């Protein structure tokens, strides 16, 4: 099968959806620019009406997406960085996420909010956050965090087809990662985890860029520790079954998360194991996550707080001891 990058896969996902349905539109900051790999060429194919550069006013253009979705269009709204969405929290959390519920299901908001996220590039604390834990905390949004090019394309198409608000997190450092991606359109369903490595000693759950780090750790420990790696792919809905089934088998759990540790995704998965998998556990759950510090600018400091394969190996060794 052909290999393309994560960014090209996202680009193709747009292309399929926009060819299929003229009501799929895209706007955001610089979405027409040729240097933006995930959206490059879309304006040329679909025109400047459907692919629009918006003024740098996140509240206005996210709200515009919400409104367009309420009247049945399929807006994809891109934020150049997840951190920038923080200036538009009313439109995201009050309007986009709550409208379906507050109208008793009378209105749906079929909108995709694409957020480019992630640390590791030396970009400091307002250009590096993951934030999917914050969004997953609030009801009314599906939270998607693809970890490879195949999932990026299939999950994006599924997100555009979904009748609900979907927040789609694309890791900036995965943009250039290559992988097998079919040329035809396909959907990767929400709430179905991906099993990357089978193992019997410990379960490692990771999303986004951390999936790759978890796999690296598993491969490094090959022959010594049998590591199972699971990528839930979507935080909401979460494939609880897949996590619990694996923990039942291995009796040990390590959760890896680039997002803040406190009240986040890693806490959620640990709580899941404590509530519904407690009797399977043979060791305390371990978490490898951002230790609740803003991402520092200095590269050594940044590396120091970010999870990576080495830290995952250390955590695995501690729980299997």
Partner 1 sequence: MEAPVDNSKSRSSISVHVNSLKLTKTQRLDLYRVMVRIRAFENGVRQLTSEGKIGHVSLSGGGEAVAAAVSAHLGPEDQIGSTHRPLGHLVAKGCSLKHMMAEIAGKATGTNRGKGGAYHIFCPEVGALGANGIVGGSVPMCAGYALANQLRANGRVAVSYFGEGASNQGGVQETLNLAACWKLPLVFVCENSSPVVQTMLGHEIDYPQLSIEDVSLRAPAYGMPGGSHPGWDAEEAYAVVGEAVKRARDGGGPTLLEFKVHRVEGEESEHCPIRCYREKLMKLGVLNEKLDREIRDTEATAVKEATDFAVGSPEPELVDAYRDIFKEGTR
Can you give the binding site for partner 1, defined by CB under 8 A? 23, 25, 49-50, 52, 54-55, 57, 59-73, 75, 88, 90-91, 94-95, 99-108, 139-140, 142, 158, 161-164
> Which of residues 59 and 123 has its CB atom nearest to partner 1 in the complex?
59
- Measured between alpha carbons, how far is residue 207 from residues 118, 121, 265 in Å? 12, 18, 9
Q: Is 180 a catalytic residue?
A: no
Tokens of 34: 């040729």
> Which of residues 114 and 245 has its CB atom nearest to partner 1 in the complex?
114
> Which of residues 22 and 121 has its CB atom nearest to partner 1 in the complex?
22
Which of 12, 14, 78, 127 is an active site residue? 127
| Interacting residues of 293 by C-beta distance below 8 A, sequence separation 6+ | 305
Q: What angle do CA 26, 29, 31 make, to 5 degrees?
A: 50
- Measured between alpha carbons, how far is residue 320 from residues 101, 230, 272 in Å? 44, 18, 20
| Minimal distance, residue 69 CB to partner 1, in Å | 7
| Minimal distance, residue 151 CB to partner 1, in Å | 18
> Which of residues 20 and 220 has its CB atom nearest to partner 1 in the complex?
20
| Minimal distance, residue 67 CB to partner 1, in Å | 2
> Which of residues 27 and 260 has its CB atom nearest to partner 1 in the complex?
27
Q: What angle do CA 79, 175, 146 make, to 5 degrees?
A: 75
Could you tell me where the DSSP H helices lie in the chain?
6-20, 42-46, 58-70, 89, 99-102, 132-137, 149-161, 209-220, 240-250, 265-276, 299-305, 309-320
Q: Is 58 a catalytic residue?
A: yes
Which of 58, 170, 213, 240 is an active site residue? 58
Alpha carbon distance 163, 177 (integer Å):
30
| Interacting residues of 76 by C-beta distance below 8 A, sequence separation 6+ | 14, 17, 24, 25, 26, 27, 65, 111, 112, 114, 160
Widest CA span in the chain? 60
| Minimal distance, residue 275 CB to partner 1, in Å | 19
| Minimal distance, residue 99 CB to partner 1, in Å | 8
How many CB atoms are located within 10 Å of the residue 248 CB? 13
**Residues belonging to the active site:** 58, 127
């Amino acid at each position: 099968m052909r290999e393309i990058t994560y960014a090209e896969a996202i680009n193709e996902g747009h292309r399929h959806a926009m060819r299929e349905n003229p009501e799929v539109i895209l706007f955001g900051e610089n979405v027409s620019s040729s240097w933006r790999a995930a959206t490059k060429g879309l304006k040329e194919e679909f025109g400047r009406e459907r692919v629009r550069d918006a003024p740098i006013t996140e509240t206005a253009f996210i709200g515009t997406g919400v409104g367009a979705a309420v009247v049945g269009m399929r807006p994809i709204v891109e934020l150049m960085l997840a951190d920038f969405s923080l200036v538009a929290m009313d439109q995201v959390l009050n309007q986009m996420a709550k409208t379906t519920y507050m109208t008793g299901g009378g209105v749906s908001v079929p909108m995709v909010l694409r957020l480019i996220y992630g640390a590791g590039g030396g970009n400091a604390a307002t250009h590096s956050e993951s934030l999917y834990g914050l969004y997953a905390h609030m009801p009314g949004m599906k939270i998607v965090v693809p970890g490879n090019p195949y999932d990026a394309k299939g999950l994006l198409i599924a997100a555009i087809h979904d009748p609900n608000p979907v927040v789609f997190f694309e890791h900036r450092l995965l943009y250039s990662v290559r992988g097998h991606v079919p040329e035809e359109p396909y959907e990767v369903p929400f709430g179905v985890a991906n099993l990357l490595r089978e193992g019997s000693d410990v379960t490692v759950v990771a999303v986004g860029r951390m999936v790759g780090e978890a796999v690296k750790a598993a491969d490094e420990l090959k022959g010594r520790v049998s590591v199972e790696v699971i990528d839930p792919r979507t935080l909401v809905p979460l494939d609880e079954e897949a996590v619990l089934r694996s923990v039942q088998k291995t009796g040990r759990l390590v959760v890896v998360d680039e997002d803040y540790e406190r009240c986040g995704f890693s806490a959620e998965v640990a709580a899941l194991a404590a509530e519904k998998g407690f009797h399977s556990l043979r060791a305390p759950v371990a978490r490898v996550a951002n230790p609740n510090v803003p991402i520092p600018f200095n590269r050594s400091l940044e590396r120091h707080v970010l999870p990576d394969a080495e830290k995952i190996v250390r955590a695995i060794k501690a729980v299997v001891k």
